[in-house]
Amino acid sequence: MKNKVIIITGASSGIGLACAREFASRGAKLSLAARSADKLQEIEKELTNAGHEVLVTPTDVSKEEDCKNLADQTVSRFGKIDILVNNAGISMRALFKDLDLNILKQLMDVNFWGAVYCTKYALPYLLEAKGSVVGVSSIAGFIGLPGRTGYSASKFAMHGFLQTLRTENLKKGLHVLIAAPGFTASNVRKSALTANGSQQGETPRAEDKMMSAEEVARHIAKAIKKRKRTLILTFKEGKLTVFLSKWWPSLIEKLSYNHMAKEPDSPFK
């Protein structure tokens, strides 16, 4: 990754921040995007003090003009784009029957349209560089997770978009990676939206028993280097779940229902 120019969205925390630190340690030049200007400035100071080249651009990926500005600012500063990591995302936890439909729309705007907008404006430079587009997805993009209708829908949509993008550019050298980390210790569950749009606040899962964001970032870096098509992390909740969903979907539906119902204050039992 030495001297590669990498855009990372959702870079202020969790997997995005871990990727920023991991890629910087490998010699990359970073263009970091997130909604929080204050957090971006803190990260910029941390990484520049360590001798890394960093550009930060406050960005709301649900706004097309912000995504275009992100690509423009990156090219203006570094002259190219080699890798785009579509990481920005939000989650939810509520039954569909109780859900305000604006919440579902909000998840689609960030998780799906955010990836579409950023990819659209970075694509000419990525094609020129024969670079990589990465979608940080979830196991929820392979199976429908109960209580996460909007989240699963947005990740399924991301998969369809990225798979088609890969096929369209099959002869142009574009690398497309769909990365599904599984349950990862991060703040995504604390900020998950409930049925009325408020933030969940407390995570319903044992974060200390999950894969760390730093480990996920290392796996993503290796997958980009190897130009892998798909990265599914963890065995039981990742690889095995995706495998069984293809051959025994009714079993996976029962298992996922029972698994999610065990969460504290689960919206269903």
Could you give the strand order of the β-sheet that contains 54-58, starting from the edge strand earlier in sequence?
Answer: 54-58, 29-34, 5-9, 83-86, 132-136, 175-180, 230-232
DSSP per residue, 87-129? -----B-B-GGG--HHHHHHHIIIIIIHHHHHHHHHHHHHHHH
Residues 252 and 224 sit within 8 Å (Cβ to Cβ): no
Report the residue count for the chain. Answer: 269
151 is catalytic: yes
**How far is Cα 33 from Cα 177, in angstroms, rounded to an integer?**
20
Contacting residues for 247 by C-beta, under 8 A, at least 6 apart: none
Sign of CA dihedral 257, 261, 263, 265: positive
**How far is Cα 87 from Cα 134, in angstroms, rounded to an integer?**
8
Say which of 117, 121, 151, 257 is annotated catalytic: 151
- Residues recognised as catalytic: 151
